[in-house]
Structure 1
Amino acid sequence: MINSHVIDSHAILEAFQFRHACKEFDASKTIPADEFELILEAARLSPSSFGFEPWHFIVVQDPALRETLKQHAWGAPLKLDTASHFVLCLAMKSPFLNYDSPYLPAFMQEVQQHSEEMVNIRLGFYKQFQQSDFDLTDDRKLFDWASKQCYLPLANMMTVAAMRGIDSCPIEGFKQQETEKLLAEKFDVNLGVYGLAYMVAFGYRKHDPKPKTRRWMDQVVTWK
C-alpha cells in the first residue's frame, strides 16, 4: 500500500506547474533510457474501460521515419527535429472491440486471467454497454471511444515526465487519413486493426515557457 506521505503534495503540484506544451526541445539533450522506460511503464499501467487496453505505442527514433511524418503533421515538424523521443499512439479499431469479436474473449482469458464463465458474464455487460448505454453502434463511434481510452496513458506519461523534469508536447495537428496511409506504408501498421489517436514528443525544453494560465477553481468545479 502506498504511503500518502511519501509523495509530497507540493512536489506533485510543482510537476503540474512545470509541465507545458513544449514547442521546441533542446536537440542536444537525450532522455536517459531508464527514464523513458519509466514513462512508457506509466502508459502500460494506465487504466482503460473494461481494462481492454485498446492502444499500441510506436516510439519513432529513426530520423528518416521522423522526416516522413512531417509532410502530413503540420503541428509536429519542430518537435520531430528536436525531441529526444517521439511517440505515436494507435487506437484499436472496431473489428477488435465489438462485443462479438473473437479478440475480446481471448484477451480476457490470456491477459486478464478470467475464467470462461467470467468472460461470458463480462461480455454480456459489455454488449449492453456498447449497444445501449454508450451507443457505440458504428465504427467511428467505437474508434472515438477507444481513442478516449488512449488519452489516459497520454496524461500519465506527461505527468510522470514532468515529475522527472522532462518536457512533453501532445500533438493532434496532423491529417489523419494521410498520416495513417503513411503509417501503413512506412511503419507496417495494419489499418484494419489500428488508427492514429495522437502523437506526443518528449525531451528537454530549449526555452522557458510563459507563465501558466488557468481558470480559478470555483470556475471549473461545482460542489452539490
Structure 2
Amino acid sequence: MAINNQEMQSKILEAFNFRHATKVFDPAKKIADDEFNTILEAARLSPSSFGFEPWQILVVQTPEKRELFRDFAWGANGAFNGTAGQLGTASHFLIFLAHTDVNQTHNSEYQQKFMKEVKQLPDDVIGFINQAFQKFQEHDFKIEGQRQITDWAGKQAYIAAGNVMSVAALMGIDSCPIEGFEMDKTSAVLEQHFGIDPKVYQPAVMVALGYRADEPPFEKTRRTMDQVVSWF
C-alpha cells in the first residue's frame, strides 16, 4: 500500500527525532547485510558539486584495524565516558575520504576519465564542463591549492555522510558522525595499513552505525524554526 504524503512526513520527522549522536552501541546487535547495502547505496547515489563524487568510503570491520585509530580518534574511543566507544561497539564503522587536488583540480586526468567512463559524456560536453569547473575553481569560489580543494571535496563527502545517517534513521538504525580524530595520525595509519595515498586522499569524517546500547540521556534540543529560517 502506498504511503500518503502525510504519513511520509510523519515517518521522516519521527526518524530525525529518533536519530542522535550515539556514543555507545550494543555490540551484540549487527546491521543486516541488505540494510547496510541500502545505506551504502544512499551514499553512492548522493549528489555532489558538478557530479564529481569526490569521495571514497572505507568500511572498517576488522577489530584489529579499528584499534589502529584508538589512541588518537578521541571522538570514537570512549575516552569521555569510560567505554570502548564507537570504535569498539559499532556494528559498522565508515571512514569517508576526500579527494585532494591531485584528482579534483580542473582538467585533471582523473576528472577526464570520470566524465568519459562514469558519466559517459561526449567530448564537447566534457570540454564545456572543463571550462565551467575551471571558472568555478579559479574565479567563482576561488578554490585553489591542496588544502582548499580537499576541503571542498570534504564538503561533498559530508552530503553522502548525511544521507547515510538519515537513511539509517529511517530504518531504525543509530549513527554518529565523528570529527574527533587527529588528522595527521589518521592519514599516516591509512597510508601504512590501508594503502591510502595521502597525496590523493585525506580523511574527511567518520561515521559509526549500529544500535544504541541505551537511550540518549538528554532530549534533543535545536533552535526554533524562526531562529533558523528567514523568509523574504
Tell me if TM exceeds 0.5.
yes
Query: Which residue is equivalent to 1:99?
Result: 106
Query: Which residue is equivalent to 1:109?
Result: 116
Residue 69 of structure 1, CA deviation:
1.0
CA distance in 1, matches of 2:163, 2:7: 16
Check if 1:31 corresponds to 2:34: no
**What letter is aligned with 2:103?**
F
Secondary structure of 1:113 counterpart: coil
After TM superposition, list the pairs within 5 Å mapping 1:2-21 onto structure 2. Answer: 5=5, 8-21=8-21
Scaled by the length of structure 2, the TM-score of the pair is: 0.93
1:133 corresponds to which of 140, 143, 155 = 140
CA distance in 2, matches of 1:8, 1:45: 21
Residue 3 of structure 1, CA deviation:
8.2
Check if 1:74 corresponds to 2:82: no
Distance 1:3 1:131, change over 3 A: farther
**What letter is aligned with 1:58?**
L
CA distance in 2, matches of 1:57, 1:203: 17
CA distance in 2, matches of 1:99, 1:4: 44
1:150 corresponds to which of 140, 151, 157 = 157
Unpaired segments ≥5 residues, structure 2: 78-84
Q: CA RMSD in A?
A: 1.4
Query: Which residue is equivalent to 1:164?
Result: 171
CA distance in 2, matches of 1:3, 1:118: 40
CA distance in 1, matches of 2:154, 2:4: 31
CA distance in 1, matches of 2:37, 2:110: 28
- Structure 1 segments of 4+ aligned residues over 4 angstroms from their partners: none
Unpaired segments ≥5 residues, structure 1: none
Residue 5 of structure 1, CA deviation:
3.1
**What letter is aligned with 2:209?**
F
1:215 corresponds to which of 189, 210, 223 = 223
Scaled by the length of structure 1, the TM-score of the pair is: 0.97
CA distance in 2, matches of 1:160, 1:142: 28
**Count of aligned pairs between the two proteins:** 223
CA distance in 2, matches of 1:205, 1:129: 42
Distance 1:166 1:3, change over 3 A: closer
**What letter is aligned with 1:218?**
D
